[in-house]
Amino acid sequence: DTSCCLKKEAQAIDVARDLDGSPLSREWIEQHLDCCRGTAYKLRGYSVPEASAVRMMMSTGARILLDWEKIDNENDDDDNDKNEEDKMHQCPPPESLFFKRIVMSDLDHARSKLKKAPHKLIRDVHSYQVECNFLTSDACKCLVKDARIHVNGVYGSELRPIKGERPK
């Protein structure tokens, strides 16, 4: 459900799909945005402007613009009773995120590699695993915090093979 498309512009709905090819749901996005659990915000919808989409040989991606609704809490009037953790959960969630999707069976170049140089495709899969593992590691968090190196945050990742011997 991309019900919040505020501007009437082309949408990259082919990119904003889960690994099984289904369009991303609001629930899927909220689930992967672990930073938003327990906050006073609910995802109303999202848009994926075509202008932000990239379709490369080995991946696709796009900027997803998020439209959040602040959920009113009847207890918000009594700020004195809130501890710091409660106040932290009131911070607004991200306005956007970059979504990168790599489904080898959807990419012509990857299917070609599977036939001509399968060892290179295996290397690519390992490379994606290393990238994902590093970006979600404590070592990366330390670089950001201690060395003040800017690394884009990773809200979630999903690495899994497609079932069966002949992926779609």
Q: Tell me what pLDDT residue 88 has.
A: 47
51 and 76 in a common domain: yes
Q: DSSP class of residue 65?
A: E
User: 1: pLDDT confidence band, cut at 50, 70 and 90?
Assistant: very low
Residues 68 and 43 reside in one and the same domain: yes
Domain of 24 in residue numbering reads as 1-101
Evaluate whether 48 touches 66 at the Cβ level (below 8 Å). Answer: no
Q: Domain check: are 51 and 21 in the same one?
A: yes
- On whether both 38 and 95 belong to a single domain, the answer is yes
> Are 111 and 48 contained in the same domain?
no
Domain end among 101, 119, 149: 101
Question: Within a 13 Å sphere around the CA of 68, how many CA atoms are in the beta-carbon half?
Answer: 18
Report residue 81 as tokens. 């009773």
Average pLDDT, the chain: 82
pLDDT at 166 over 70: no
33 and 72, same structural domain? yes
- Does residue 80 surpass a pLDDT of 90? no
pLDDT tens-place string over residues 88-117: 456 678 899 999 998 888 888 888 998 999
If asked whether residues 40 and 86 sit together in one domain, one would say: yes
Question: Mutual orientation of helices 118-135 and 138-146 as an angle, nearest 10°?
Answer: 50
Percent with pLDDT over 90 in the chain: 38
Model confidence, pTM: 0.76
Question: Tens digit of pLDDT for each residue in 28-61?
Answer: 998 888 766 777 888 999 999 999 999 999 999 9
Most distant pair of Cα atoms in the chain: their distance: 66
Task: Please indicate, yes or no, whether residues 54 and 25 belong to a single structural domain of this protein.
Answer: yes
